[in-house]
Amino acid sequence: MATYNRLQTLVAMQLTNRKMFKKMKSKMHAVAYVLLRVLVIAVITAIIAGVMMICNSLLQIKVDRNLLLFIIAFSQIISIIGFTNGLVNSLYLSKDNAILLQFPARHSEIFISKMVVNYIVEFWRNLNFILPLLLAFGIMGQTPVDVGYWLTIPLFLVFLPLIPLFLGAILSIPLMYAKRLLNSIPLLQTFVGLSFLGLVIYWVIKIVALIPTPLRLLANYNSFITGFNQFIVDANSFFIGYQNIVNCLFDTRTVWDFLILIGTGAVIVALAYFLAMPLFFKIISHFSERSVDNKHKKHTNKQRGVFGSYFIKEITTIMRTPGKLFSFLFGVVTLPFLLYVINTIFTAINTSAVGDSMIIGFNLMIGLFLAAANNSSAAESISREGAEFTVLKTAPSQTYKMVWSKVLVYEIFNIISLIFGFTVLASITDLSASEVVWLFLVFILISSGHLLWSVQFDILNPRLNDVASKGTAYNNPNVGKSILAGLLTAVIFCAVTIFFMVDSYVGGWVKLILFAVAFFVVRLALFMANLRVYFKRIEF
């Protein structure tokens, strides 16, 4: 009983930290909340049912038990990957461990409480996806369902979250050891990350090579749908246990199917209990300990100007932080890769003159979306300095130059990425050399304008306190603003490009370049004005 009470307290404490489980102010609030949840589930069910109806009638995709099995099994794989990674943080690296372990509770109870919390969160998530999916399938699916189908849904909601959660707990142990190894050798971490990226790129290129030429999406629709339906059937043959689990829903169910559903959950829970729990305390108490035996070489500091010093500091920080370095290199690699994939598909389509203009417009939009994601990191470049910003700012010199040094670093990586990207573009499309150069110019002007805009968001509203106190600025509104601005800019430029070029191809290029120059000049002027006025007002 005492154990149960302690578990209840531990779970309640951890749940109150979650936004979705905040304590209700009154009974009325609680009732309103429950009604709202029911309404949300009903709306999601209606949307999924609508999609299923379109798939059945318009798209000729069979919404039968095969598709249901595929979706459930696929969502479980995503959950297993998510939990394996997420549990490393929430079980072993979470900052609340330091507090929880001080409480008069056994280590096993803390482990169990954490698993219960994760289970409740997953159960809650399933109410927003698996429940509406099953309800919609019961209404719109092509496979007939009986009363047993509706009665089995609650069983599904209870047992399905157990499998990915506890499997994730088991898999998180070797992942934790791997992470520790990678953290101790930063270069290895970057190497593994890039190797993984290389593998993904290799497979995507192999798949893209299968695209037939000419690509006639509408004409080949039937064969695409036949292939898709066959792919679902073939993929399902690998989901051995889930075939029985999904069979519980239909009139072909047997006792064995239910035993496999309940048994799989029970076995995985037991495995996690005997494998992960004994290691829990050992891992959290030892994994943060790591001796540092850096040997510092003596050298005389080279005197540099203010801008040069800040620039070298930025570069050194990136080179010494594997996460940052990987993030920048990822940005450099993804643009050329994305342009390669999308343009291989575009060139396979036999396009008209309007289609050619669309291709230029969409290339611009797709590339700028990616640039928006990369530049959004610049929207917290000043905030990331945290408490150190005061030290940097109090130096008796023109410290605003630090902002320019940050802009330059982002710009260098942007340009490298664009050079690779447009080399790829020139090699696989029919665009002439001059068209590629003009597009490169337009792209760099818009991307640079957006970069300045992103940094400007941070100058106006830096989150230094958040970084200083929590180590990172969670849900930084500047990042959101930067991404939104980038997406809007990309959409506007895509529309403008198509509009200009459909009207007159050569004249369209001139107008597009002038429009991009105007955008960059306006952003540069606003950035400089804001930097001059607001940088000195930034306070910690």
Partner 1 sequence: MTKKAVVAIEVVVCLLAVVIISIFGINPEAWRDDIPAQSLVITNQSDPVREIDVTRSTDTNGREVVNVKLPSSIREYQIEWEISPENVTVTQISFTSAQIGGNIISISDTGLVNFLTNSNEGATIMLKTTDGTNRIAQMIITFKASSSGGDIEL
Write out the residues near partner 1 by the rule CB under 8 A: 212-220, 222-223, 226, 230, 338, 341-342, 345-346, 349-352, 354-359, 362, 365-366, 369-370, 372-373, 376, 479-480, 483-484, 487
- The number of residues making up the chain comes to 540
The CB-side HSE value for 140 (13 A sphere, CA atoms) comes to 24
Tell me the closest approach of the beta carbon of residue 331 to partner 1, in angstroms: 11
Of 485, 310, 529, whose CA–CA distance to 403 is shortest?
A: 310
Which residues, at least 6 apart from 522, have a Cβ–Cβ distance to it below 8 Å?
A: 449
Look-up of token digits 């006639």: 216
Here the tokens at position 236 are 């399902």
Cα separation, 527 vs 540, in Å, equals 21
Which lies closer to partner 1 via its Cβ, residue 253 or residue 481? 481
**Residue among 38 and 354 whose Cβ is closer to partner 1:** 354
Cα(179)–Cα(454) distance, integer angstroms: 32
Q: Is the CB of 269 or the CB of 359 nearer to partner 1? A: 359
Q: Please give the radius of gyration of the chain, using alpha carbons only, rounded to the nearest integer.
A: 28
CB of 457 to partner 1, least distance (A): 13
The nearest distance, CB 210 to partner 1, in angstroms, is 9
∠ CA 341-439-419, nearest 5°, is 65
Q: d(Cα 37, Cα 392) in Å, to the nearest integer?
A: 49
Least separation in angstroms between CB 246 and partner 1: 21
d(CA 134, CA 45): 9
By C-beta, is 121 or 359 nearer to partner 1?
359
Give the shortest CB-434-to-partner 1 separation in angstroms. Answer: 22
Closest separation between CB of residue 313 and partner 1, Å? 25
Q: How far is the CB of 79 from partner 1 (least distance, A)?
A: 16
Question: With the C-alpha atoms ordered 307, 305, 322, 94, is the resulting torsion angle positive or negative?
Answer: negative
Joined tokens for residue 335 = 């643009």
Q: How far is the CB of 415 from partner 1 (least distance, A)?
A: 21
Q: Which is nearer to partner 1, 362 or 499 (CB)?
A: 362
Rounded Cα distance between 137 and 22, Å, is 32
Are 324 and 399 in contact, with CB atoms under 8 Å apart?
no
CB 225 within 8 A of CB 67: no
Compute the distance between CA of residue 130 and CA of residue 41 in angstroms, rounded to an integer.
10
**Closest CB to partner 1 among 105 and 379?**
379
Shortest reach from residue 219's CB to partner 1, in Å? 5
CB atoms within 10 A of CB 146: 13
Looking at beta carbons only, is 211 or 517 nearer to partner 1?
Answer: 211
Q: Please identify, using beta-carbon distances, which residue of 17 and 350 lies nearer to partner 1.
A: 350
Residue whose entry in the numeric block shows the structure tokens 């073939």? 234
Report the C-alpha gap between 489 and 501 in whole angstroms: 18
Tell the smallest beta-carbon distance from residue 439 to partner 1 (Å): 16
H or E segment at 432? none
User: Phi/psi at 136 (nearest 5 deg)?
Assistant: -65, -40
Q: Least Å distance between CB 270 and partner 1?
A: 34
Q: At its nearest, how many Å lie between partner 1 and the CB of residue 158?
A: 29
**What sign does the CA torsion over 124, 130, 133, 137 have?**
negative
Q: Can you spell out the DSSP letters for 380-420?
A: GTTGGGTTHHHHHHHSSS-TTHHHHHHHHHHHHHHHHHHHH
Q: In the bound complex, what is the minimum distance in angstroms from residue 24's beta carbon to partner 1? A: 28
Q: Is the CB of 154 or the CB of 214 nearer to partner 1?
A: 214
Q: Which is nearer to partner 1, 7 or 501 (CB)?
A: 501
Tokens describing residue 234: 């073939």
- Sign of the Cα pseudo-torsion (455, 461, 462, 467, in order): negative
DSSP-assigned states of every residue in 175-190 = HHHHHHHHHHSHHHHH
**Nearer to partner 1 (CB atom), residue 264 or residue 375:** 375
Pick between residue 55 and residue 306 the one whose CB is nearest to partner 1: 55
Of 352 and 394, nearer to partner 1 (C-beta) is 352
Residue among 376 and 383 whose Cβ is closer to partner 1: 376
Task: Supply the DSSP string of 16-29, one letter for each residue.
Answer: HTSGGGPPPSSHHH
List the structure tokens of 123. Answer: 């159960």
CB-CB contact of 96 with 263 (8 Å): no
**Shortest Cβ 212–partner 1 spacing (Å):** 4
